[in-house]
Amino acid sequence: MLHIVDDEEAIRDSLAWLARSRGIAACTYASAQAFVDQAGKAFDAGGDCVLLDVRMPDLNGVAVFDLLSARALTARLPVIFLTGHGDVPMAVDTLKRGAFDFFEKPFNDNQLMDRVEQALALSRAAGATAAVQARLASLSAREREVLDLILAGKMNKVIADQLGISMRTVEVHRSHVFDKMQVKTAVELAGLLK
């Protein structure tokens, strides 16, 4: 989902239309505060990107970016700044602090949407990585030991001998590992964690 935050209705509408023409779902916000109120609620899975105007009344785009950074959302929610009043030091500063890109109005539509698609791909990858990390965190210490030995290519009997537990216990732990990691085979597990 592309989140368009700009106080100019014509800009919001044209960017939303441009996104839809590329098959990208878009949501618009007339103010930075409206976006901030939403931020963090629906952006945990990844697959989101923000087009953020720098100059808006009340809360400017750089302040919104700082809020997103403070909430550690910028990896799953890449920010592309748009401005009609930018300067080189501002662009360099925001990029150094983790903004995905910086476009000055008027901008090339195709170049902007190409960057949006790249940001969305990055966001999806970050969301997938976060999901795998959450699954790993759900494993018990013993399940983690079994997982490591499965990844090392050990058979259940070898795992049981190495950990000093019964083969049946290894089978139970292996089943829990596969369930929690949402895989069916050791090959899928290895592919997920490569």
Instruction: For residue 167, give its domain range.
Output: 138-192
CA distance 65 to 36: 10
Domain end, chosen from 134, 149, 166, is at 134
User: If phi over 0 gives left and psi between -120 and 50 gives alpha, with beta otherwise, what is residue 72?
Assistant: left
- Give residue 170's pLDDT: 93
Domain end, chosen from 96, 118, 134, is at 134
Identify any residues that bridge with 49 across adjacent strands, giving them in sequence order. 2
- Give residue 176's pLDDT: 95
Q: What is the pLDDT of residues 114-142, one digit of tens each?
A: 999 999 998 888 777 878 888 999 999 99
CATH of the domain at 84: 3.40.50.2300
| Pick from 18-27, 33-42, 150-159, 170-179: least confident | 33-42
Q: What is the pLDDT of residues 136-167, one digit of tens each?
A: 999 999 999 999 999 999 999 999 999 999 99
Q: Which residues contact 15 (CB under 8 A, 6 or more apart)?
A: 2, 4, 6, 26, 28, 51
Residues 153 and 127 in one domain: no
Q: Which residues contact 181 (CB under 8 A, 6 or more apart)?
A: 132, 135, 136, 139, 147, 189, 192
pTM greater than 0.75 (yes/no): no
